[in-house]
Structure 1
Amino acid sequence: MSINVVHLVGRVGGEPEVRYFESGSIKCSLTLAVNRLSKNKDNEPPDWFNLELWGKTAEIAANYVRKGSLIGVQGAFKIETWQDRTTNTERSKPVIKVERLDLLGSKRDSDPNAVSNYTTNVEM
């Protein structure tokens, strides 16, 4: 028996890249920054993952996910390979093919016009 299931929770690293195909298919590509469970997480950079979403899930991501959005995903790990056109060498990158997308942030997280509840008081 073999299992290929990945669960990640993190923040989106950039705006979704959406492609519409003549067949009617929709593909959305995202990057996701995920912090490790660590006592020194302030000193450790996040791990970055490439995400690939298709169909209705891609459509939801295109409409509701923005840079900085907090999301959870479930999917499968795969290695994408291709031939580099300029050097003619084989290239590859790891990708998570997302099967489930959970929007975890609030509407306030995605609203650029929202005003922060926090104020800074500086005493001199």
Structure 2
Amino acid sequence: MNQNTKIKQNMSSYNQCTFVGNLTADPELRKIGDKATPVLDGSLAVNRVYKDKEGRKVEDVDFIPFTSFGKAAEILAKYLRKGDSVLLSGEMRQDKWEDKESGQKRSQLKLRVENFTLLNNKRD
């Protein structure tokens, strides 16, 4: 058994994502639960540039919804505004709910922020 086989056996699953992008809107801070835990929701635009089959440059964007909790949520709410650059990392989680109007089941992948780095933001 080589070293790579050992790693594969010990890592049955791994969920860690890192994105660098710009906020699509001001993030929204709210409080939940009896302890009024701060929760921040936002969306990050992450640009991709690649060449198509004909060799032409193509620019595309992915929108990554994210959530942060506690002190991190408060810090991000204080310092981030629409258009700001940020590095966010954490786990991708699948939120599930039932649509109130149609009764249909819905889901959305969302980044649960564990770490962040503010990039070129100039606010106090």
C-alpha displacement at 1:45, in angstroms? Answer: 2.6
What is the TM-score with the length of structure 1 in the denominator? 0.80
SS at match of 2:60: coil
SS at match of 1:62: helix
What is the TM-score with the length of structure 2 in the denominator? 0.80
Give the root-mean-square deviation of aligned CA atoms: 2.1
> Sequence identity, in percent?
33
Segments of 5+ residues of structure 1 without an aligned counterpart are 111-124
Query: What is the distance in 1 between the residues matched to 2:57 and 2:98?
Result: 38
Query: What is the distance in 1 between the residues matched to 2:96 and 2:48?
Result: 27
User: 1:67: which partner in 2?
Assistant: 82
User: 1:19: which partner in 2?
Assistant: 30
C-alpha displacement at 1:39, in angstroms? Answer: 4.8
Runs (4+) of structure 1 exceeding 2 A deviation are 37-45
C-alpha displacement at 1:78, in angstroms? Answer: 1.1
Compared CA separation, residues 42 and 62, structure 1 to 2 (3 A): farther
C-alpha displacement at 1:36, in angstroms? Answer: 1.8
2:41 alignment partner AA: S
2:26 alignment partner AA: E
Count of residue correspondences: 109
Segments of 5+ residues of structure 2 without an aligned counterpart are 1-10
User: 2:15: which partner in 1?
Assistant: 4
